[in-house]
């Protein structure tokens, strides 16, 4: 492991005891999934230009290769909640892996200002993200994962990426996007958005959205539905009428247990139906 990655690994590991500074204080409803029976923790993934850290979790006792789920973070990084989601998936029999998507641009876990975090995230290109997720799939293949059974799920910032990555990598069998933005400005770093690829999408993606999401207007959800209707995949979008943004984030006040549980059940069914599990 390189010296710089060792330093980064130490910083990430220190945050593993808690959460990104920007999301303090943490809700009393926070779920903690135990790691017993799992192999879990941070690893180093080789990528196109340098190694990056990623959190991975998988069952310790396995026979044969495991289905792989890429877990794409929120803007707050791979903090305790994203790690816990990996453990939840591992307990369902997956090799779940969450690469640090902003590693080259900065350590968002140490920032307490949303504006500072957004300044870092704004420098991250979709091309970089796709390449790092591709590298995670290759890493998983060499560490017990089945490259023929790959799923992707992401939250908020990662929800947008989920739609786009499903269109990027033909190895992906299915995706579940949690409240990711669907429309946006075309820029050199973000040349397309989910609504732009909806009609041509060949991978089934389930979108989970909140009817009270102040940052994702329902008009844009309807635009995405119309784009999907022009294509041939069985992709669909579910809207929880009373749920706000980040309704699955049990560490935040936005958490809505009923919508979160229903979405999680739908994720499991979706991956099973479309050949990930």
Q: Is 168 a catalytic residue?
A: no
Q: Please give the Cα distance from 53 to 40 (Å, whole number).
A: 13
Q: Is 193 a catalytic residue?
A: no
180 with 159: CB under 8 angstroms?
yes
Residue 209 contacts by C-beta under 8 Å, 6 or more apart in sequence?
179, 216, 221, 237, 238, 239, 240
* Catalytic, out of 84, 126, 132, 213: 213
Q: Is 86 a catalytic residue?
A: no
* Catalytic, out of 134, 146, 196, 245: 245
Show contacts of 57-64: CB within 8 Å, 24+ apart.
57/83, 57/86, 57/87, 57/89, 57/90, 57/95, 57/96, 58/90, 58/94, 58/95, 58/96, 58/144, 59/90, 59/91, 59/93, 61/37, 62/144
* Catalytic, out of 79, 81, 86, 156: 156
Q: Please give the Cα distance from 202 to 234 (Å, whole number).
A: 9
Q: Please name the residue that has the structure tokens 């799923």.
A: 151
Is 125 buried (19+), middle (13-18) or exposed (0-12) by CB count in 10 A?
middle
CA atoms in the 13 A half-sphere facing the CB of 226 = 8
Tokens of residue 170, six digits: 């033909």
Number of neighbouring beta carbons within 10 Å of residue 181: 18
DSSP code at position 217: -
Sign of the C-alpha dihedral computed for residues 123, 127, 78 and 30 taken in this order:
positive
Tokens of residue 194, six digits: 């989910």
Radius of gyration of the chain (CA): 17
Residues with a catalytic annotation lie at 156, 213, 245
């Amino acid at each position: 492991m390189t010296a710089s990655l060792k330093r980064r690994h130490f910083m990430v590991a220190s945050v593993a005891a808690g959460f990104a500074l920007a999301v303090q204080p943490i809700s009393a409803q926070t779920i903690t999934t135990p790691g017993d029976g799992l192999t879990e923790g941070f690893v180093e993934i080789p990528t196109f230009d340098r190694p990056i850290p990623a959190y991975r979790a998988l069952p310790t006792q396995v026979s044969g290769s495991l289905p792989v789920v890429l877990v794409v973070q929120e803007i707050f990084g791979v903090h305790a909640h994203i790690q816990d989601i990996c453990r939840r998936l591992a307990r369902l029999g997956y090799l779940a892996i969450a690469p640090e998507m902003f590693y080259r641009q900065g350590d968002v876990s140490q920032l307490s200002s949303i504006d500072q975090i957004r300044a870092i995230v704004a420098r991250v290109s979709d091309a970089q993200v796709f390449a790092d997720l591709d590298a995670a799939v290759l890493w998983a293949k060499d560490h017990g994962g089945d490259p023929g059974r790959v799923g992707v799920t992401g939250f908020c910032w990662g929800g947008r990426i989920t739609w786009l990555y499903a269109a990027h990598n033909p190895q992906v069998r299915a995706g579940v996007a949690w409240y990711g933005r669907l429309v946006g400005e075309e820029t050199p770093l973000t040349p397309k958005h989910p609504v732009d690829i909806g009609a041509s999408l060949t991978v089934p993606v389930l979108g989970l959205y909140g009817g009270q999401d102040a940052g994702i207007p329902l008009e844009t959800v309807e635009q995405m539905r119309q784009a999907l209707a022009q294509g041939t995949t069985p992709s669909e979008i579910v809207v929880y009428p009373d749920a706000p943004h980040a309704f699955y984030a049990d560490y935040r006040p936005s958490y809505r247990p009923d919508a979160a549980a229903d979405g999680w059940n739908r994720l499991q069914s979706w991956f099973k139906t479309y050949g990930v599990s």
